[in-house]
Amino acid sequence: AQSVTQLGSHVSVSEGALVLLRCNYSSSVPPYLFWYVQYPNQGLQLLLKYTTGATLVKGINGFEAEFKKSETSFHLTKPSAHMSDAAEYFCAVSDQAGGTSYGKLTFGQGTILTVHP
């Protein structure tokens, strides 16, 4: 069974500061990893994903994440926070597409990011 743990349900940063949202996963097979963002009263939007290849993945809005197999981690970072980054962020894991996985996602509990002026 797969699982995802997001460390910290709330993270608060100042505008211009580094954003670091932590995600650790457990999977019995090579995982596909995702970060989604949810703005208030909206659905989830894909920020970035790792499937195969380069372990440093760049996404939208200046975010990036690095897949570290030895640490079973997929932390999300952004060098300089903007007020518009305030939202809830979800890390998710999926078995590799195909087979009997059918792309099902297992989500972490979510991290609410607050950005202070």
List contacts with another protein (CB under 8 A).
4, 9, 32, 34, 36, 41-46, 49, 51, 90, 94, 97, 102-110
With H, G, I as helix, E, B as strand and everything else as coil, classify residue 69: helix
Least distance to another protein from the beta carbon of 51, Å? 6
Least distance to another protein from the beta carbon of 38, Å? 9
Radius of gyration of the CA atoms of the chain, in A = 14
- Residue 78, Cβ density class (10 Å: 0-12 exposed, 13-18 middle, ≥19 buried): buried
- Exposure string for 6-34, b = 16+ CB within 10 A, e = fewer: beeeebebeeeeebebbbbbebeeebbbb
Least distance to another protein from the beta carbon of 81, Å? 23
Q: Considering beta carbons, is residue 36 or 74 the nearer one to another protein?
A: 36
Q: Considering beta carbons, is residue 78 or 108 the nearer one to another protein?
A: 108
Least distance to another protein from the beta carbon of 17, Å? 25
Q: Considering beta carbons, is residue 17 or 86 the nearer one to another protein?
A: 86
How many whole angstroms separate alpha carbon 44 and alpha carbon 63? 16
Q: Considering beta carbons, is residue 63 or 90 the nearer one to another protein?
A: 90
